[in-house]
Amino acid sequence: MKKLSIIGPLILIALWMFLSFTNLIDSFFLPSPFETFYEIFVLLFTGKIIPDLFTTFIRTIEAFLIALVLGVPLGLFLGGKEKVYRSLEFLIDFFRSTPITAIFPLFLLLFGIGDLSKIAVASFAALLLIIFNTAYGVLNANKSRILAAKVMGASKWQVFKKVVFFESLPETFIGLRTAISWTLVVIVVTEMFIGTNIGIGHYILNAQYIYDIKGMYASIILAGLLGYLLNYTLLFLERKYIHWKGK
């Protein structure tokens, strides 16, 4: 399976090389993979892009942790109180489905143009995903296991703590993985369009403005790698600790 996972990247690089070397797309606007990967090496080796990557990483983690600390308890509570959840379901789905860029102005008015507004809007986007998935996991916990625990004399709190909570974790982790990716997306977008002079989003947009095309592609790839590593970290934790998933 691990060998199969490299097929996609190889196909992408082969297509990229074909488009670049045949000049179907002007090489100025689509530099070759070799030039782009060399640019990545230069940016990392010289440290030029490290502050931007680090700042984006910190903003993403801060926003994600806020959403995690608030979202999981709220999701567990709403999932355990189905009537309350159903009464709020429309609001959760409504805001979850609303393009986050549409509410940027609201967060700018409330929190200004500094880091606080970027973190707040990213936290809000991630929070809704975490609440929804956590509550869904609770609502769809294995009924047979819950019944078995009740038959053995477990109290409501014991059933929730020993059965429902662990049953909800697979869905919760799906929400967390989606949320951390979405958090990074929102942070990068806010770095592009909400006043800042540092961050990978700012670097990408600035590279476009000055026609540093190689730098633009390199920073886009680095942003993608950052997102992949964040997601893979949660996937690793899920596989390691949620070993009962699907059983």
Quick one: pLDDT at residue 80? Answer: 80
What is d(CA 214, CA 207) in angstroms, rounded to the nearest whole number? 8
- In a structure prediction context, what are the per-residue pLDDT tens digits for the chain, which is 247 residues long? 556 677 778 888 888 888 878 877 777 788 888 888 999 999 999 989 999 999 999 999 999 999 999 999 999 888 888 788 788 878 877 877 888 878 888 888 888 777 888 899 999 999 989 998 998 888 887 777 777 777 777 777 777 777 778 888 888 999 999 999 999 999 999 898 876 788 999 999 999 888 889 999 999 999 999 999 999 999 998 888 887 665 5
Q: Are 244 and 166 in contact (CB under 8 A)?
A: yes
pLDDT value at residue 228: 93
Q: Is 223 helix (H, G, I), strand (E, B) or coil?
A: helix
Residue 143's φ and ψ, nearest 5 degrees, are: -65, -30
Residue 223 CA to its chain's centroid (Å): 12
Q: What 3-state class would DSSP assign to 196?
A: coil
CA separation for the pair 30, 205 (Å, rounded): 16
Angstrom distance (rounded) from CA 84 to CA 196: 40
Report the C-alpha gap between 179 and 197 in whole angstroms. 25
Cα–Cα distance measured from residue 62 to residue 70, given in angstroms and rounded to the nearest whole number: 13
Pair of tokens at residue 55: 């700042």
Contact 81, 131 (CB under 8 A): no
